[in-house]
Amino acid sequence: MNPFCILSQLTKSYPTPKGDAVIVKDFNLKIKKGEFVTLIGHSGCGKSTVLSMLAGLNPITSGGIILAGKELSGPGPDRGVVFQSPSLLPWLSALDNVLLGVNQAFYTASRLERKQIAEYYLAIVGLANAMHKKPAELSQGMCQRVGIARAFALSPRMLLLDEPFGMLDALTRFELQEILLRLWSKNQITALMVTHDVDEALFLSDRIVMMTNGPEAEVGDILPVHFERPRDRAGILAHPDYYDMREYLITYLSDRSHIKGQYKASVENQGFDFAALKDQDEKCNPLVMEGKHIAERRNRPVLEDTTKLN
Amino acid sequence: MKPLISLEGVSKSFGSGQQKTNVLSNIQLEIKEGEFVAIVGYSGSGKTTLISILAGLIHPDKGVAMYREHPIREPDPGRALVFQNYSLLPWLSVWDNLALAVNQVFPHWSTSKREEHINHYLDMVRLTPAKRKRPSELSGGMRQRVALARALAIDPEVLLLDEPLGALDALTRGNLQEEIARIWSENKKTVVLITNDVDEGILLADRVIPLTRGPEATLGQPIHINLPRPRNRKELNHDASFKDFRKRIIESLMHEGRQPSTTTVRRTFVLPNILPEDLNAPGTFRFGRRSPVRHEEFKQEPLEIEI
Amino acid sequence: MKDEAFYRWITFLKKIRFGWLAPFFLLLKGEDPKTQCKAIFSGVMMPIFSILLFLWIWDLASKEIVTKFGTVPGPRQVWSAWKSLGNETRLERIKALEHQHRAREKRIVSAKKYKEVLNNFPGEMPTGLLSPGTEDALSTSSDAFQQANELLEVYNKISITLSKEEAQSVAALFQYETSRQYAEKVIQQALPLEIRHRERVEALRMAPEWNPSPDDPDKVVESKSALKKSESKKLAREKAILLIERQRYATEATKAAYALITSLPKSVRTLLAQSDKSASKLYPELKAWHENLLAEEAATGVKYAGKVKLKMLVKAFEYKPYPGKDTYFAQIATSLKTVFFGFCIASLIAIPIGIICGLSPNMNNAINPLIQIFKPVSPLAWLPIVMILVGALYVSDDPMFELSFLNSAITVALCSLWPTLVNTSLGVSSTDKDIMNVAKVLKLGWYKKVTKVIIPSAMPLIFTGLRLSLGVGWMVLIAAEMLAQNPGLGKFVWDMFQNGSSETLSMIMVAVFTIGIIGFMLDTIMLSLQELVSFD
Q: Is the pLDDT of residue C355 over 90?
A: yes
Mean pLDDT value of segment C278-291: 74
Mean pLDDT value of segment C181-196: 65
Nearest by CB: B238 against A155, A243, A293: A243
The ipTM (two decimal places) reads 0.77
B54-71 exposure pattern, b = at least 16 Cβ within 10 A, e = fewer: bbbebebeebebbbeeee
The values of phi and psi at residue C158, to 5°, are -60, -45
- Of A103-107, A199-203, C14-18, C264-268, the poorest mean pLDDT is in C264-268
Work out the angle between the directed axes of helices C455-484 and C403-429 (0-180°, nearest 10).
Answer: 150
The predicted-structure confidence for B74-122, as pLDDT tens digits, reads as follows 888 788 888 777 778 888 899 998 898 888 888 888 989 999 989 988 8
Nearest residue of A to residue B163, measured between CA atoms? A169
Bridge partners (DSSP) listed for residue B267: B303
Whether B158 and B79 have beta carbons less than 8 Å apart is answered as: yes
Q: What is the DSSP letter of B216?
A: S
The β-bridge relationship of strands A36-40 and A19-31 is unpaired
Judging contacts by C-beta atoms under 8 Å, the chain A residues touching residue C456 are: 89, 91-92
8 Å CB contact of C443 and B279: yes
Which class is C328-533 in CATH? mainly alpha
Whether B49 and B24 have beta carbons less than 8 Å apart is answered as: yes
The verdict on B258 touching A (C-beta cutoff 8 Å) is no
Which of C528 and B76 is assigned the larger pLDDT? C528
User: Could you tell me which chains touch chain A, where touching means 3 or more CB pairs under 8 A?
Assistant: B, C
The verdict on A210 touching C (C-beta cutoff 8 Å) is no
Nearest by CB: A78 against B247, B278, B307: B278
The predicted-structure confidence for C125-166, as pLDDT tens digits, reads as follows 445 545 555 556 555 555 556 666 666 666 666 555 544 445
Q: How far apart are CA A112 and CA A103, in angstroms?
A: 11
Closest alpha carbon to C374 in C356, C349, C401: C349
**Which residue type does C408 have?**
S
- Of A208-212, C128-132, C237-241, C245-249, the poorest mean pLDDT is in C128-132
- Of A117-131, A244-258, C325-339, C354-368, the poorest mean pLDDT is in A244-258
Residues near C121 by beta carbon (within 8 Å), at least 6 away in sequence: C145, C306, C310
**Which residue type does C326 have?**
D
Q: What is the DSSP letter of C20?
A: G
Whether C394 and C405 have beta carbons less than 8 Å apart is answered as: no
The verdict on C440 touching B (C-beta cutoff 8 Å) is no
Bridge partners (DSSP) listed for residue B6: B30, B66
8 Å CB contact of B275 and A237: no
- Dihedral sign computed on CA atoms, order C99, C101, C105, C111: positive
Q: What is the DSSP string of B90-107?
A: TTS-HHHHHHHHHHHH-T
The β-bridge relationship of strands B21-31 and B5-14 is antiparallel
CA distance C23 to chain B (A): 12
Q: What angle do CA A92, A93, A97 make, to 5 degrees?
A: 70
Nearest by CB: B17 against C30, C443, C445: C30
8 Å CB contact of B297 and A291: yes
8 Å CB contact of A83 and C442: no
Closest alpha carbon to B13 in B57, B73, B62, B66: B62
Q: How far apart are CA A159 and CA C483, in angstroms?
A: 66
Mean pLDDT value of segment B195-202: 86
Closest alpha carbon to C329 in C532, C450, C489, C202: C489
Nearest by CB: C535 against A77, A105, A134: A134
Residues in chain B: 307
- Ranges of chain A whose pLDDT falls below 50: 264-310
Residue C101: predicted pLDDT: 72
CA distance B243 to chain A (A): 8
Mean pLDDT value of segment C214-237: 62
Mean pLDDT value of segment B292-303: 79
Residue A191: predicted pLDDT: 93
What is the domain partition of chain A in residue ranges? 5-74+193-309
Most B CBs within 10 A among A79, A107, A244, hence the mutation to make, goes to A107
Q: How confident is the model at residue C185 (pLDDT cuts 50, 70, 90)?
A: low
Most A CBs within 10 A among B197, B273, B280, hence the mutation to make, goes to B280
Mean pLDDT value of segment C19-24: 85
8 Å CB contact of C435 and A89: yes
Q: What is the DSSP letter of B219?
A: B
Q: How far apart are CA C521 and CA C234, in angstroms?
A: 39
CA distance C437 to chain A (A): 7
Question: Would you put residue C365 in left (φ > 0), alpha (ψ -120 to 50) or beta?
Answer: alpha
8 Å CB contact of B171 and A247: no
Nearest by CB: C440 against A75, A91, A154: A75
Whether B191 and B37 have beta carbons less than 8 Å apart is answered as: yes
Listed as own residue / partner, the contacts of C166-173 with beta carbons closer than 8 Å and 24 or more positions apart are C170/C101, C170/C264, C171/C101, C171/C105, C173/C257, C173/C260, C173/C261
The β-bridge relationship of strands B36-41 and A158-162 is unpaired
Bridge partners (DSSP) listed for residue A211: A219
Residue A295: predicted pLDDT: 33
Judging contacts by C-beta atoms under 8 Å, the chain B residues touching residue A246 are: 237
Nearest by CB: A106 against B170, B277, B290: B277
Q: How far apart are CA B54 and CA B31, in angstroms?
A: 11
Residue ranges of alpha helices (H) inside C263-360 are 266-300, 307-317, 328-359
Q: What is the DSSP string of C366-402?
A: HHHHHHHHHTT--HHHHHHHHHHHHHHH---SS-SS-
Judging contacts by C-beta atoms under 8 Å, the chain B residues touching residue A117 are: 271-272, 274
Contacts with C, A 17-76, CB within 8 Å:
55-57, 75-76
CA distances from B247 to A237, B194, B222, C195 (A): 7, 19, 14, 100
- Of A149-158, A167-176, B169-178, C262-271, the poorest mean pLDDT is in C262-271
What number of C-beta contacts closer than 8 Å exist between B and C?
A: 15
Helix/strand number for chain C, H first, E second: 21, 2
A15, exposed or middle or buried, with CB in 10 Å at 0-12, 13-18, 19+? exposed
Bridge partners (DSSP) listed for residue A149: none
A30, exposed or middle or buried, with CB in 10 Å at 0-12, 13-18, 19+? middle
Nearest residue of C to residue A138, measured between CA atoms? C536
8 Å CB contact of B16 and C32: yes
Nearest residue of C to residue B276, measured between CA atoms? C442
CA distances from C3 to A134, B278, C402 (A): 19, 47, 51
Residues near C319 by beta carbon (within 8 Å), at least 6 away in sequence: C103, C279, C280, C283
Most C CBs within 10 A among B13, B14, B16, B285, hence the mutation to make, goes to B16
CA distance B47 to chain A (A): 13
The verdict on C446 touching A (C-beta cutoff 8 Å) is no
Q: Is C66 helix (H, G, I), strand (E, B) or coil?
A: strand
8 Å CB contact of B18 and C35: no
Q: How far apart are CA C530 and CA C102, in angstroms?
A: 50
Q: Is the pLDDT of residue C516 over 90?
A: yes
Nearest by CB: C443 against A89, A104, A135: A104
Nearest by CB: B303 against A123, A234, A251: A123
Count of other CB atoms within 10 angstroms of residue B1: 5
Residue A8: predicted pLDDT: 84
Contacts with A, B 8-47, CB within 8 Å:
40-44
Bridge partners (DSSP) listed for residue A162: A194
The verdict on B196 touching A (C-beta cutoff 8 Å) is yes
Closest alpha carbon to C31 in C60, C68, C5, C6: C6
Question: Would you put residue B288 in left (φ > 0), alpha (ψ -120 to 50) or beta?
Answer: beta
C377-405 exposure pattern, b = at least 16 Cβ within 10 A, e = fewer: eebeebbeebbeebeeeeeeeeeeeebbb
Residue B133: predicted pLDDT: 87
Q: Which contiguous run of DSSP H or E holds residue A39?
A: strand A36-40
Residue B282: predicted pLDDT: 61
Q: How far apart are CA B70 and CA B63, in angstroms?
A: 13
Which class is A5-74+193-309 in CATH? alpha beta
Q: How far apart are CA C439 and CA C447, in angstroms?
A: 12
Closest alpha carbon to A144 in A84, A205, A77, A57: A84
Residue B37: predicted pLDDT: 92
Count of other CB atoms within 10 angstroms of residue C474: 24
Which of C339 and A290 is assigned the larger pLDDT? C339
Peptide linkage before B276 cis (omega within 30 of 0):
no
Whether C334 and C514 have beta carbons less than 8 Å apart is answered as: no
Residue A25: predicted pLDDT: 84
C368, exposed or middle or buried, with CB in 10 Å at 0-12, 13-18, 19+? middle
Whether A205 and A249 have beta carbons less than 8 Å apart is answered as: no
The verdict on B237 touching A (C-beta cutoff 8 Å) is yes
- The three-state (H, E, C) secondary structure of C109-143, written as one string: HHHHHCHHHHHHCCCCCCHHHCCHHHHHHHHHHHH
Q: Is the pLDDT of residue C354 over 90?
A: yes
Nearest by CB: B291 against A43, A108, A297: A108
The verdict on C3 touching B (C-beta cutoff 8 Å) is yes
Mean pLDDT value of segment B225-233: 82
Work out the angle between the directed axes of helices C75-113 and C504-533 (0-180°, nearest 10).
Answer: 90
Q: Is the pLDDT of residue C488 over 60?
A: yes
Q: How far apart are CA A223 and CA A216, in angstroms?
A: 21
Q: How far apart are CA A153 and CA A148, in angstroms?
A: 8
What is the domain partition of chain C in residue ranges? 2-64, 75-268, 328-533
Residue C212: predicted pLDDT: 54
Mean pLDDT value of segment B137-145: 83
Nearest by CB: A77 against C437, C442, C459: C442
Residue C215: predicted pLDDT: 61
